[in-house]
Structure 1
Amino acid sequence: MSYPIYQVDAFTSKIFGGNPAAVMPLERWLPDETMLALAIENNLSETAFFVPLPEDDEADFHIRWFTPGIEVPLCGHATLASAWVLFNKLGWDREQIRFHSKSGPLAVRQTNDGWLILDFPKFTPEEQPTPALILEALEGAPQTAFFVPNDTNYMVVLEDEAAVRAAQPDIRKLKELGNLGLIVTAPGTECDFVSRYFAPGGGIDEDPVTGSIHSVLVPYWAKRLGKKRLEARQISARGGVLRCELKGNRVDIAGQAAFYMEGSVYLP
Structure 2
Amino acid sequence: MRKKTIHDISVYEFPGMETTTLLTKKPFDMHKVNGEGNRNKIAACLDIPSEHLVFPDQQHTSNVGLVTSGNPDHSFSNTDALITNETNLALGVVTADCVPILLFDRAKKAIGAVHAGWRGTNARIVAKTIRAMQVNFGTKPYELSVGIGPSISPEVYEVGADVFDAFFEAGHNVDLFFKPKINGKYLLNLWKANYMQLIYMGVADISIEQAKMCTFMLHDDFYSARREGIKTGRNAAIIKNQK
Q: Looking at CA atoms only, which structure, 1 or 2, has the larger radius of gyration?
A: 1
TM-score exceeds 0.5: no
Q: TM-score, normalised by structure 1?
A: 0.25
The structure with more helix, counted as a fraction of residues: 2
Q: TM-score, normalised by structure 2?
A: 0.27
